[in-house]
């Protein structure tokens, strides 16, 4: 770990509110960071410091940021990050790296990119940290499990408020809340992402170790506990999965993704009543498109077609590039004996995801009578 991680002046620590009698774990030195991980039962040999800085990183930050106050230098550094002639960097959706690795590879995902900015900003003596953004969540579905993609930004104390530096330049809804994170939470998010990478690579045992480390560093990290449940389920530990979901829900009782994955586990165990109860506890206002479709399926199975269609349309609005809501709406149209409308919805679904199996099967069923009536 580089000693450059300890480059913040005392004044910056005071400005960030670190004069409290309670430890905030903000802006830890390398030795403090390692000692705190060890105290919490995390083996530092397994966990690289996501914010460690090298001399080339510091020198590059000085060159790109130039002179000025903290805000001016960070804005200049952010502008350089977006200018490939000054700082070539390739966004990689599934590449979770430490700041040092992201700098060396010149690529990484949103978390890697933000941590790189934070680490380089700190090397300038600027008290910048990472913040977790809460907004309409994006999600992806793998089998019957739903994975949420959270978003992070960089945050700088600015008077009594915070100034934010976002690296997602795609159109998105404004955040509903922003939570500045201490260094243990930053490490927990890094470990959580690493766990998700391992889960996608079908390594649930490795993923579980990362997820457990994340919850040891951030015990109130509900999504981390939810991911412990996912990894335990995939490792065959059903009881352990139930316990992890219970812990997650004790922190965030109406979390849509945790409840959706819990319902999936209940269904796999033949516990339909419990699955239905879990889905009815979902906070619809914060649900992802995939969770909304699952909840809509429950309403449809219960005969509440209008409610189901409303949920499907809301999922389509939140995830316009996802095929699943279009397929769900098509199912309702078929139930209403409107095959022409269903056909258009299914064709739209296949234009978004050509390999969507259910859309292909339903479209084949709709077209079959017309195909048999066509003269040869």
Query: What mean pLDDT comes out for the span 183-200?
Result: 92
Looking at residue 36, its pLDDT comes to 96
Strand partners of residue 180: 131
Q: Indicate if the pLDDT at residue 112 is higher than 70.
A: yes
CA distances from 210 to 78, 224, 247, 267, 277 (A): 30, 9, 17, 27, 30
- What is the β-pairing status of strands 161-165 and 145-158? antiparallel
Query: What mean pLDDT comes out for the span 23-35?
Result: 90
pLDDT digits (tens, 9 = 90+) for 38-55: 999 999 999 999 999 999
Provide the mean pLDDT of the chain.
85
CA distances from 239 to 80, 214, 232, 331 (A): 49, 20, 9, 35
Please report, rounded to a whole number, the percentage of residues in the chain having pLDDT higher than 70. 84
Query: What mean pLDDT comes out for the span 289-300?
Result: 86
Instruction: Provide the CATH topology of domain 220-283.
Output: 1.25.40
Query: What mean pLDDT comes out for the span 116-137?
Result: 87
Every domain range in the chain assigned CATH 3.10.620: 3-201
Query: What mean pLDDT comes out for the span 271-297?
Result: 86
3-201 is classed CATH 3.10.620: yes
Looking at residue 4, its pLDDT comes to 47
153 in Cβ contact with 178 (< 8 Å): yes
Looking at residue 288, its pLDDT comes to 80
Strand partners of residue 164: 155
Q: How confident is the model at residue 3 (pLDDT cuts 50, 70, 90)?
A: very low
Q: Is 17 left (phi over 0), alpha (psi -120 to 50) or beta?
A: left
Query: What mean pLDDT comes out for the span 24-43?
Result: 93
Q: Class for domain 288-373, per CATH?
A: mainly alpha
Q: Indicate if the pLDDT at residue 18 is higher than 80.
A: no
Strand partners of residue 251: none
C-beta neighbour count of 2 within 10 angstroms: 18
What whole-number distance in Å separates Cα of residue 277 and Cα of residue 58? Answer: 53
Query: What mean pLDDT comes out for the span 200-229?
Result: 94
Every domain range in the chain assigned CATH 1.25.40.10: 220-283, 288-373
Identify the weakest region by mean pLDDT among 142-156, 188-202, 305-319, 325-339: 142-156
């Amino acid at each position: 770990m580089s000693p450059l991680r300890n480059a913040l002046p005392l004044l910056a620590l005071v400005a960030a509110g670190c004069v409290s009698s309670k430890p905030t774990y903000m802006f830890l030195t390398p030795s403090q960071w390692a000692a705190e991980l060890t105290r919490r039962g995390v083996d530092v040999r397994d966990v690289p410091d996501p914010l460690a800085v090298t001399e080339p990183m510091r020198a590059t930050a000085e060159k790109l940021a130039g002179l000025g106050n903290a805000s001016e230098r960070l804005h200049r550094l952010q502008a350089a990050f977006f200018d490939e002639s000054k700082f070539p960097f390739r966004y990689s959706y599934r590449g979770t790296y430490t700041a040092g690795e992201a700098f060396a590879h010149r690529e990484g995902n949103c978390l890697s990119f933000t941590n790189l900015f934070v680490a380089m900003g700190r090397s300038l003596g600027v008290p910048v940290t990472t913040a977790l953004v809460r907004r309409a969540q994006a999600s992806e579905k793998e089998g019957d499990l739903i994975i949420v993609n959270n978003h992070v930004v960089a945050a700088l104390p600015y008077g009594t408020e915070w100034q934010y530096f976002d690296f997602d330049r795609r159109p998105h809804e404004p955040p509903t809340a922003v939570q500045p994170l201490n260094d243990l939470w930053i490490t927990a998010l890094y470990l959580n992402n690493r766990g998700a990478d391992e889960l996608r690579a079908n390594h649930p045992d490795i993923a579980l170790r990362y997820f457990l480390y994340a919850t040891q560093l951030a015990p109130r990290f509900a999504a981390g506990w939810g991911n412990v449940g996912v990894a335990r389920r995939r490792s065959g530990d059903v009881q352990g999965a139930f316990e992890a979901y219970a812990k997650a829900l004790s922190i965030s009782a109406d979390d849509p993704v945790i409840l959706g994955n819990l319902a999936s586990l209940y269904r796999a165990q033949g516990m339909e009543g419990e699955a239905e109860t879990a889905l009815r506890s979902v906070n619809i206002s914060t649900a992802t498109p995939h969770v909304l479709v699952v909840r809509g399926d429950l309403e449809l199975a219960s005969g509440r077609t209008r409610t189901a269609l409303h949920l499907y349309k809301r999922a389509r609005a939140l995830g316009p590039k996802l095929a699943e809501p279009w397929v769900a709406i098509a199912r309702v149209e078929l139930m209403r004996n409107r095959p022409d409308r269903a056909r258009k919805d299914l064709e739209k679904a296949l234009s978004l995801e050509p390999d969507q199996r259910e859309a292909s099967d339903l479209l084949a069923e709709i077209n079959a009578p017309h195909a048999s009536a066509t003269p040869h």
